[in-house]
């Protein structure tokens, strides 16, 4: 083997190692999401927009959410449960830090695609921007949506997961959705505190600020001045 081929083989091997390592970290980073040092306190947000609390704590099941009705249902495997997915209305699916959408390789019959607007002011987004809307794709064996896969930052010192709080526009089967993930931890009521770990916020319980407009509308309404957060809990459907 000449030197050129050796160099190419070494570069290819290094590339494969990096991708395997990144995939492993992506699959396991959420295991550390409830081991913060020190315990964190989530910043409280004031908004006049609905905030949906999504339970994504299961490592075996996906929670699929229909934001127009705030209803959810769970599946075990997007590949094996595709028939069930087609029988229900849903927009996004959550499992720990992972997010899938009802479109692309996850569900070819779905119509959902996502655009990432970055860390802009949520209330300032009124018009649908001319940006690419991306469906789910498969990369190195994993199904992801490139627009939303990196929605969070992982703090290696504290093992905390922090939302970048980017704003996303989601094309759905029944309109348009504007959303922002506020945090990965939901605070527990003091009445539920039973151990010394009580100050620790609930992991894999996402607070999602959103606004949904029905088909035919292309403009989000102007938000009123901030009011106490309107928080809803996604309802699980049978």
Distance CA 47, CA 208 (A): 11
Could you tell me how far CA 138 lies from the centroid of its own chain?
A: 17
**Position 79 confidence tier, pLDDT thresholds 50, 70, 90:** confident
Looking at residue 7, its pLDDT comes to 63
54 beta partners? 206
Q: What average pLDDT score do residues 24-47 get?
A: 52
Q: Are 184 and 23 in contact (CB under 8 A)?
A: no
Which helix or strand (DSSP H or E) is residue 127 part of? none
What is the distance between the alpha carbons of residues 214 and 210, in angstroms, rounded to a whole number? 13
Kindly report which listed range (89-93, 130-134, 154-158, 219-223) carries the lowest average pLDDT score.
154-158
3-state secondary structure of 95: strand
**What's the whole-number average pLDDT of the chain?**
79
Q: Span 74-96, mean pLDDT?
A: 92
4: pLDDT strictly greater than 70: no
In this structure, how many other beta carbons lie within 10 angstroms of the beta carbon of residue 168?
A: 23
Query: How far apart (Å, rounded) are the C-alpha atoms in residues 190 and 39?
Result: 15
Domain boundaries defined on the chain: 33-236
Coil, strand, or helix at residue 214? coil
My answer on whether omega of the bond before 161 falls inside 30° of 0, hence cis, is: no
Position 141 scores a pLDDT of 79
Cα Rg of the chain, angstroms: 19
Q: Could you read off the pLDDT of 45-61 as tens digits, one per residue?
A: 667 889 999 999 999 99
Do 161 and 98 form a contact (C-beta atoms < 8 A)? no
CA distances (Å), origin 6, targets 9, 14, 17, 18, 20: 5, 12, 16, 18, 21
Instruction: Work out the number of other CB atoms within 10 angstroms of the CB of residue 156.
Output: 8
211: pLDDT strictly greater than 60? yes
d(C-alpha 199, C-alpha 187), whole Å? 8
- 204, two tokens: 């894999």
pLDDT above 60 (res 19): no
């Amino acid at each position: 083997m000449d030197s050129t081929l050796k160099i190419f083989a070494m570069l290819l091997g290094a590339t494969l190692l990096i991708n395997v390592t990144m995939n492993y970290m992506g699959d396991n980073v959420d295991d550390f999401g409830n081991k913060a040092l020190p315990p964190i306190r989530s910043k409280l947000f004031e908004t006049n927009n609905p905030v949906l609390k999504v339970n994504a704590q299961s490592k075996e099941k996906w929670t699929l959410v229909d934001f127009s009705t705030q209803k959810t249902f769970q599946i075990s495997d997007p590949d094996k449960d595709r028939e069930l997915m087609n029988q229900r209305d849903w927009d996004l699916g959550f499992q720990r830090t992972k997010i899938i959408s009802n479109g692309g390789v996850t569900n070819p019959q779905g119509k959902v695609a996502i655009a990432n607007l970055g860390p802009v002011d949520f209330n300032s987004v009124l018009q649908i921007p001319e940006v690419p809307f991306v469906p789910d794709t498969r990369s190195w064996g994993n199904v992801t949506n490139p627009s939303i896969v990196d929605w969070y930052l992982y703090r290696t010192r504290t093992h905390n997961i922090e939302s970048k709080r980017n704003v996303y526009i989601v094309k759905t089967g029944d309109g348009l959705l504007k959303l922002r993930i506020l945090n990965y931890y939901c605070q527990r009521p003091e009445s539920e505190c039973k151990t010394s770990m009580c100050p620790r916020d609930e992991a894999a319980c996402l607070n999602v600020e959103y606004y949904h407009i029905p088909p035919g509308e292309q403009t989000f309404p102007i938000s009123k001045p901030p009011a106490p957060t309107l928080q809803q809990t996604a309802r699980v459907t049978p």
